[in-house]
Amino acid sequence: MTMLTTTLLASFFASLPLAAAFSDSANNNVAIYWGQNSLGQDGSQQNLAYYCNDDASDVVLVSFLNQFFAEGGLPSINLGPSCGGTTFAGTNLLSCPDVGKDIATCQGKGKKILLSLGGASGAYGFTSADQAKDFANTLWNLFAGGSSDTRPFGDVKVDGFDLDIEGGSNQYYNDFVDQMRQNYASDASKKYYISGAPQCPIPDQMLNPAMTTSDFDMYFVQFYNNYCGLQSYGTDNFNFAAWDNFAKTQSSNPNAKVYLGVPGGPTAAGSGYVDADQVIKIANDLQSKYSSFGGVSIWDASQAWANHDFADVVKAGLESSQADPQPSLALSTTDQNKNVVPSTSAQAPASSSAPASANGPASSSAPASANGPASSSAPASANGPAASSTPASANSPAASSTPAPADPTVTVRPTVTLTKFFPLASCGCVANN
């Protein structure tokens, strides 16, 4: 399609009635990361409700909770220019009531809102299983069905959590997920989800241990910044088939949906960007071939909405497919608390450092410090003092290392990085993906 045709298609789609609410059984969902303003221009990131008023998205991932154990023993979040300045006293945890109102608006339109943990920089990781379980309880109280005096988004409950883990240790995330599942089962008022955002090389270096032993509902696989990205579609390097097989035969939840993760604009990733027409071509092919296919995930909102209605065009292309959705693949409320049996998984490949972009962050592979609270298995209330105007701290982002391909004959592009965007001075962000 020409750019004119693409624009007309997006305009037509925008004129249609409100799209149906998110369906975990569908293969035409669009998930969008929001919060980091990766385009880096003043005004390029709108408030959350702005994107939810557009039918292009079904899932929005609020990004990022980038420090697990900050001042006062509580985590910290960074949402770029969309929330800043006011923290709860004695902590680095931002108070973001306007974001909370927007989350309620989005949920009223049938969107699912997940809080994304990690990114390509930040201080995160666990030193023990008990610490991971305690952290799940803390997040439950701060953002979901629990209670606390220090809830950044107020009384609104997010619909789940996303693990975008790209640095530090890969241990104990299964304990985090299992404890969170137990918390989910205690709230029958709504359905909650767990998702992950692995890199496309298999096995994923950071999330493979958790994905093979604990239940995830969705995998937002990053098909960019690696040899297996979108630029390799049509060759043996493009490995969505391997992810379909992983979801069905190695993942703890064989019904998990796999999403095609794409950059939303030419500067959203170091490599792997293709235009919306090509994304539709690839996605329609995957819709017809793989029952695990759940849709497309996009990094990020600021890029996609500045890029010729990229998200609208992709959504319209997914919905134009005649592929039938598969039976519901997400876990039921009772399944969310089931016992899981660890399975044998392949060892993650040794990491090989990729050259950082001239505009990108420096590489770092050292695990972040994780000084957490004392151990407990039941969710404890995370009560805290009232909000103050103390500014939150800002750390500079760092890139994670690139896993080498399993096939030694494959040469990784020398310009590959693991960040989703090149941090710009005006982005107002500290974490990237």
Please report whether residue 306 resides in a domain: yes
Please report whether residue 206 resides in a domain: yes
- For 248, the enclosing helix (H) or strand (E) is helix 240-249
Which entry of 55, 134, 159, 166 is annotated as an active-site residue?
Answer: 166
From first to last of its 433 residues, what are the pLDDT tens digits of the chain? 444 444 444 444 444 444 458 999 999 999 999 999 999 999 999 999 999 999 999 999 999 999 999 999 999 999 999 998 899 999 999 999 999 999 999 999 999 999 999 998 878 999 999 999 999 999 999 999 999 999 999 999 999 999 999 999 999 999 999 999 999 999 999 999 999 999 999 999 999 999 999 999 999 999 999 999 999 999 999 999 999 999 999 999 999 999 999 999 999 999 999 999 999 999 999 999 999 999 999 999 999 999 999 999 999 999 998 544 444 444 434 344 443 333 333 333 333 333 333 333 333 333 334 444 444 444 444 444 444 443 333 333 333 334 444 443 333 333 333 333 333 333 445 545 6
Give DSSP secondary structure letters for 367-416.
PPP---PPP-SSPPP---PPEE-PPPP-----BPPEEPPSSTTPPPPTT-
Domain that holds residue 75: 23-427
Closest to 32 in 3D by CA, of 18, 45, 19: 45
Please report whether residue 278 resides in a domain: yes
Give DSSP secondary structure letters for 319-379.
HH--PPPPSP-SPPTTGGG--------PPPPPEE--PPPTTSPPB--SPPP---PPP-SSP
Please report whether residue 8 resides in a domain: no
Please report whether residue 17 resides in a domain: no
Please report whether residue 432 resides in a domain: no
Residue 306 · residue 265 · CB < 8 Å: yes
Q: What is the CATH number of the domain that holds 225?
A: 3.20.20.80
Residue 166 falls in the annotated catalytic set: yes
Please report whether residue 226 resides in a domain: yes
Please report whether residue 316 resides in a domain: yes
- For the chain, how many structural domains are there in total? 1
Residue 151 · residue 93 · CB < 8 Å: no
